[in-house]
């Protein structure tokens, strides 16, 4: 398993988790958009039996086992530009992205 957090993403997640007292950050995928899938990043108040948990430099990241093949190897960054702030994903499994960057595709094997 090789999910990576940049320093900016790690700092953002640590700050938010300290304020909320949540058990970790849930990273995953949902079916949506022009290309088929979109990333999700949510605060996790609990864990489930299907979660894989990883400690990434002090941030507990939870991933549902069914989504791991879609996001294994992804680097998560947090970027600010003007008034906008968002997580940005570099996913080696993505075979395409829609023009607006909201969704991605993966090879059928995933």
| Residue 109 predicted with pLDDT over 60 | no
Q: Provide the mean pLDDT of the chain.
A: 88
CA angle 11, 38, 95 (to 5 degrees): 105
> Where do the domains of the chain lie?
4-106
Dihedral of alpha carbons 96, 98, 103, 108, sign: negative
pTM of the model: 0.85
Task: Note the pLDDT tens digit of each residue in 17-34.
Answer: 999 989 999 999 998 866
Judged against a pLDDT cut of 60, whether residue 81 lies above it is answered with yes
28 forms bridges with which residues in the sheet? Answer: 40
* Bridging pattern class, strands 24-32 and 59-64: parallel
Q: Pick from 86, 81, 106: which is nearest to 95 by CA? A: 106
Name the fold adopted by 4-106. Hypothetical Protein Aq_1857; Chain: A; (2.60.300)
């Amino acid at each position: 398993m090789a999910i990576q957090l940049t320093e900016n993403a790690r700092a953002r997640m640590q700050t938010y988790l300290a304020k909320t007292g949540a058990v970790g950050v849930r990273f995953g995928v949902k079916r949506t958009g022009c290309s088929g899938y979109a990333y999700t990043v949510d605060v996790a108040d609990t864990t489930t039996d299907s979660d894989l948990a990883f400690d990434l430099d002090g941030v507990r990241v939870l991933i549902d086992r069914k989504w791991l093949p879609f996001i294994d190897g992804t680097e998560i960054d947090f970027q600010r530009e003007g008034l906008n702030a968002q997580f940005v994903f570099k996913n080696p499994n993505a075979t395409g992205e829609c023009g607006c960057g909201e969704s991605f595709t993966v090879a059928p094997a995933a």
